[in-house]
Amino acid sequence: MECDGSDIAALQRILRWRRDVRHFRPDPIPEQLIAELHAAMELAPSVGNARPWRVVRVDDPALHAAVRDDFAHCNAEAAESYQGQQRADYAALKLAGLDAAPLQLAVFTQIDPATGHGLGRATMPQTLRQSTAMAIHTLWLAARARNLGLGMVSILDPTHIGPLLDVPPDWEFAAWLCLGWPEFTDDMPLLHRAGWQENAPPDWLRR
């Protein structure tokens, strides 16, 4: 397969409209569509074909409530690190879609899995975590291409999530993902719209 201009334009459009969504409609996602997202995530690259990402679909309302409580605690602690107007600005941000997102996934990295036989990671074991990050990004783009939104909740205590979900001890927590139909779509990141910070992309260095 060779890509053409229409593929480039479609990818650029998806990249531009890929946003960290925080405002979701509660409408359920059809199971067939969830299966498509699962299959798309499995196309992600990984070091040595180790495929270290482990995903837990969390449907239990009690677990959702426990994660919301953990978020509230961590978010309050994070707010303490800001002062004055910046603290007020932080408090005004909507930083999670935990209450409304109809699909929530906990993503982990299995540390030193047998799969891949260690290929490519002996000197850079962090490539396992990088592989999980690429799988998350692949899922993110696949969701956006289907008009779904995805938000990643990072304001959680990673030491709490594994025990909460009773996963193996060699699964390292990577991300809590909220997926659903966005209440609105916008190609401007929410943090830009809120005035938190504009992009400051670094130049590529040449040597």
Long-range contact pairs involving 33-38 (C-beta distance under 8 Å, separation at least 24):
33/146, 33/148, 34/103, 36/142, 36/146, 37/139, 37/142, 37/143, 37/146, 37/148, 37/179
CATH number at residue 132: 3.40.109.10
Quote the number of domains for the chain: 1
What domain range is 61 assigned to? 21-185
pLDDT score at 194: 56
Q: Is 194 a member of any domain?
A: no
Displacement of CA 145 from its chain's centroid (Å) = 16
Query: Which is nearest to 143 in space by CA: 33, 55, 43?
Result: 33
State the Cα–Cα distance between residues 174 and 161, nearest whole angstrom. Answer: 10
| SS3 state at 67 | helix
Q: Is 207 a member of any domain?
A: no
Q: Is 201 a member of any domain?
A: no
pLDDT score at 205: 84
Query: Whole-structure pTM over 0.85, yes or no?
Result: yes
Query: Which is nearest to 164 in space by CA: 60, 51, 52?
Result: 60
pLDDT score at 58: 97
DSSP per position, 118-157: TTTTSS-TTHHHHHHHHHHHHHHHHHHHTT-EEEEE--S-
- The tens place of each residue's pLDDT in the chain, 207 residues long, gives 888 889 899 888 888 877 778 889 999 999 999 999 999 999 999 988 889 999 999 999 999 999 999 988 898 887 777 677 766 656 655 556 788 899 999 999 999 898 888 887 988 889 999 999 999 999 999 999 999 999 999 889 999 999 999 999 999 999 999 999 998 776 666 655 555 566 677 888 889
What does the DSSP 8-state code read for residue 180? E
Q: Is 68 a member of any domain?
A: yes
Longest dimension (CA), the chain: 55
State the Cα–Cα distance between residues 95 and 98, nearest whole angstrom. Answer: 9
pLDDT score at 136: 97
| 31-41 helix and 127-145 helix, angle to the nearest 10 degrees | 140
- CB neighbours (10 Å) of residue 183? 14
Say which residue the tokens 């992009």 belong to.
199
Q: Is 203 a member of any domain?
A: no
